[in-house]
Structure 1
Amino acid sequence: MPDDWKRQIDALHSDLVRRDDPAAWVSEADAVDASYLYPQLAVRGPVFGLAARETDDEGPWRLLGDVTEGTPQQARDGLNSLLWFKAKDDTDDREERRALLSAVARLEREPVNELTVLGTRYRVIRGDEFARSGEDGLEPPRPTDPEPADPSWEDRPSPPSQDVGFTLDPGRAEGLMAGALRIALRGFTYTGDHFPPAFREDSVRAVRDHPEVVLLPVSFGVAERRGERWRPRGALMPTPHDARRLLVHGMTEFWPLLYDFDDAERTEFAHAAAEFRAAGRANEVVVRDRCYRVCRVERMVRLGPDGPEPARPSDVETTEPMKLHPTMDEDGVIHYDD
């Protein structure tokens, strides 16, 4: 074990002992068990989001939203909207509005990954999403993963994001096993001939230029297995129960419409959803040849001397910069005909 690695592990262990927190020790025991049952990491690929930092602040960057977008341009579009609505709702100053709208105009034309507007640096950041896997597939939630106080199965507003306001600080407090994982991921690169050469080269360069790693809040999602392959179904949720509710609504409401289920399929899925719901904290349901599992999903972001890693040149895009909102003038008047 390299000396630097050993020093960091020793520091994490010392902090855990110093805190003398029984709940933390139980969580660590769960994490140790998971490392044996699900020893491999199944990497889904890159995810993107937005971070910001004030130009006169030496503190860590903070997340502005969920780091879950599939392409850099989707995150840029999010920044476009953020700045447009700031110009619309957050200022009555013509000069400030002009600066915000100038940044919006640039985002409509160029695939920029960083902008400084009114003393705030905004950056499109890149992360990687992964889950643990073992002989029986992807890791389900752990017994110590937090559940909502009110585990309702009814429709309710989207649960609050765990990413918003999260600080990208590699020195933040974390558990021993999470710290060990973070340290191990510092050397992670994409390998294998199924990745384009430029993708692999950018991955190696990222280890050199952005050597630190921050683990984002753990999320939970639904994965479907047909044969030996798993694929995600739906958005990431902050708790296992939120993902379970998403699965039930998928089986009973969304998927029958989306995939034009016949009467037999509707009945089968509705029956399976009712049994799954009645079980309370079940994490898996099988319908016909399909297995659906609530899985534990993790994400990492790399950091370098200048902050979080931006999008890489080899990252895939599916859309281009475009105009997303009506034209607004410096007085805040919106022109819908322009």
Structure 2
Amino acid sequence: MTSKALLLATLSGACLLAAQSSLAYDWETSLSIEDKENASDPSYNLSAKRYFAPLDSATNAPLAEIPFIDRLAELELDFSYQKDSRTLQLSPFRINTSTSIEIENKWKSFGIGYRHANASSPHSFSAAFNYVDIEVQLPQFSWWRRFGTGEYELVDYNLITDERAVYSYGIGYEYYLSDSWTVGTALSLNESSFSDTYTASIGSKRLWDLGNDRWLSASASINYIGSKNPYSDDETFAADLAMSYYFSKRSSVSIGASFHEGNQPETYTLSGKHFFNDQLYLELGLEQTEYGYSSSMLPDGSVLDPDETAVQATLGFRF
């Protein structure tokens, strides 16, 4: 069974589960699966949230927006895993043999975040930490040159695993102008052995009640991004936009876009989310990423397209 077929079978089966009916919950868990066009394997994310005040589904707001409207304090833990396997076909210039080498790269991410909010205060504070462990396999070759022919033969090779770590730290502040409108700012820092990136952001989010159990949500942010590496220092600006239309308390459709200066990737998203009851929900999304380079040939003979499409699915449960 392919990864896509397994994904659809798993989500379809889970959606048939009966959920217990209740009005207030303290926990929310979710499992997300993403299948990228240029990746050999899907990526997985497991998340758990603990609300420090009951999440009341009777609130006059979309179920997805209740933590925002009720200003709930929350603690979130998440884990992500991604693997990418590729076959390198070695047949370079003046080599009289062709050799296939299997390599495997892995990414594991661990994150924790806390948001402090209170229904009686317009101030909200947040902090987050994330650790990414990257394992990249690099082939190391031994060559032998035939005397008088100028040709080379591959004698042997070893796969060397290069491990890298990325540490991310972030803090944020939001001010509630009203029960459904916030403005805020955030600072974050990514540290690694090859570069450091820092980001400063300002943004706003608002939810409009359109009547007849319909709502509209919009958010926007402007980000200043600076990076330092052994070769240069770079600075750029980015903008993130998102909008969601709620047909009812349970169903919504969302669009989003992320724009960057220069030859940086731009991302566009389209998703739909539905709560089958007050507890169980499913979200399906499509993401299109446009990179700032032209098509190129990979070592395995495939073509790396400057555009990449990803299919995402998230199954969540509140209890």
The structure with more helix, counted as a fraction of residues: 1
Which one has a bigger Cα radius of gyration? Answer: 2
Shorter-normalised TM-score: what interval? under 0.3
- RCO higher in structure (CA 8 A, sep ≥6): 1
